[in-house]
């Protein structure tokens, strides 16, 4: 599957280093070959869809709309997501993957966040509530976020829900997530 | 080379989509084989050290201290960084790669940021000023940042320095970088 932001994985990775148990981040894909990410980086899946360790958290990555739409029509992927969602503790989406999540049926009737520019489009599909003006939203075992960088806030929140907020605060400190985005003001040059 | 955060690459990728020219993000490595990132993801280099397109920006990724130290004693890598630094518009480091950057000599006599917990260690090496309490610092064509997530702020700042701040603001909007880290307060559960 196509992928965009991966600092959300960095949150999980840092989290595992602060716990007694060794959590593992694995990349599951339909085929064993290379996957080219939207930003050009080529990554190698760790496991195929039919042979991977149990997943506490399933993160469905976002990506270009065309690639997400291709997977929406791919039963191998949608069936796997649907089955995994029934056993995973949490099922999460970032940005455009909210559309893939909906196509599997697991988010029907639920509240879901997506990229701000796509909220209307998601809402119009029906049987779903596109949550506005929230970086991320949780509903049952579903957690979904706005685009790219919102995945960092979502995964950090999730890490606080699972091992606890004191743990999440340690993770935040270790990845030095004290954001200071430049150019928020339109100051003179 | 080992890698940690890659949302800094996402900043460059989004930047290229908002420009007339097609900027490209490439991964350059000493050997053609797979590189396992600190978070477990396996990535494939695009180019070897001796055959890659000209680099406007060289980003030296951080990672586990032991892996950075191994590269500090690897002339193939340090010579390449030194040579590339002479032609690239900007040379950047994130977190522990400040130590690799120093080992190449290119940051001697300069002001450099690194992970907060390593500032003293960097300072004690001498011939360098470890900048305290700054997400990132620029000095000449060197730009360095604190750890992991600080690389996002650094690369966004750099994107504003190159094509301009209006461009950087468009990139920030497109990756929805409006951070809202949870658990900043120690509120009751």
Query: What distances in angstroms separate CA A76 from CA A50, A82, A104, B106, one per listed residue?
Result: 10, 10, 11, 51
The complex's ipTM works out to 0.76
Contacts for A184 with CB less than 8 Å, ≥ 6 apart: none
pTM of the model: 0.82
Phi, psi of A112, rounded to the nearest 5 degrees:
-140, 140
Say what the pLDDT of residue A7 is.
67
**How deeply is B82 buried, as exposed, middle or buried, from its count of CB atoms within 10 A (0-12, 13-18, 19+)?**
middle
| Among chain B residues, CA nearest to A17 | B39
**How deeply is B62 buried, as exposed, middle or buried, from its count of CB atoms within 10 A (0-12, 13-18, 19+)?**
buried
- Location of structure tokens 């065309």: A66
**How deeply is B187 buried, as exposed, middle or buried, from its count of CB atoms within 10 A (0-12, 13-18, 19+)?**
exposed
Cβ under 8 Å to A: B residues 42-81:
42-44, 46
- What pLDDT digit, counting tens, does each position of B37-50 carry? 877 888 999 999 99
In chain B, how long is the greatest CA-to-CA distance? 56
Return the percentage of chain A with pLDDT > 70, whole number.
Answer: 92
- Separation between Cα atoms, residue B115 and residue B93, nearest integer Å: 11
- Residue contact A176–B147, C-beta within 8 A: yes
Cβ under 8 Å to B: A residues 118-147:
135, 146-147
Given a contact cutoff of 8 angstroms between Cβ atoms, the answer to whether B42 and B34 are in contact is: yes
Beta bridge partners of A130: A112
Tell me what the pLDDT averaged over chain A comes to: 88
CA-angle at B173, arms to B132 and B15, nearest 5°: 80
Nearest Cα of chain A lies from the Cα of B40 at a distance, in angstroms, of 7
pLDDT higher than threshold 80 for residue A77: yes
- Residue contact B34–A14, C-beta within 8 A: no
- Residue contact A181–B14, C-beta within 8 A: no
Return the percentage of chain B with pLDDT > 90, whole number.
Answer: 59
- Location of structure tokens 């990555």: A61
Q: Which of A41, A115, A182 sits opposite B9 (nearest CB)?
A: A41
Catalytic residue among B29, B59, B77, B95: B95
- Residue contact B40–A25, C-beta within 8 A: yes
Given a contact cutoff of 8 angstroms between Cβ atoms, the answer to whether A149 and B5 are in contact is: no
- Residue contact A40–B46, C-beta within 8 A: yes
Q: Which of A13, A41, A189 sits opposite B43 (nearest CB)?
A: A41
- Residue contact A14–B148, C-beta within 8 A: yes
- A95 included as an active-site residue: yes
Beta bridge partners of A137: A144
- What pLDDT digit, counting tens, does each position of B10-56 carry? 777 777 777 666 678 899 999 988 988 877 888 999 999 999 999 99
In chain A, how long is the greatest CA-to-CA distance? 56
């Amino acid at each position: 599957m196509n992928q965009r932001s991966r600092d959300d994985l960095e949150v999980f990775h840092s989290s595992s280093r602060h716990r007694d148990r060794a959590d593992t981040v694995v990349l599951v894909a339909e085929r064993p070959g290379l996957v080219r990410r939207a930003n050009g980086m080529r990554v190698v899946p760790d496991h195929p869809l039919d042979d991977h360790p149990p997943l506490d958290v399933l993160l469905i990555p976002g990506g270009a709309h065309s690639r997400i739409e291709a997977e929406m029509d791919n039963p191998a992927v949608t069936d796997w997501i649907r089955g995994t969602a029934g056993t995973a503790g949490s099922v999460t989406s970032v940005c455009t993957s909210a559309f893939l999540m909906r196509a599997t049926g697991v988010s029907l009737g639920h509240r879901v966040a997506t990229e701000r520019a796509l909220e209307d489009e998601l809402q119009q599909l029906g049987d779903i509530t596109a949550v506005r003006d929230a970086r991320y939203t949780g509903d049952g075992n579903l957690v979904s976020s706005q685009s790219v960088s919102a995945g960092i806030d979502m995964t950090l929140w999730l890490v606080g829900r699972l091992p606890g907020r004191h743990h999440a605060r340690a993770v935040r400190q270790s990845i030095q997530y004290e954001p200071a985005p430049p150019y928020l003001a339109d100051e003179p040059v």
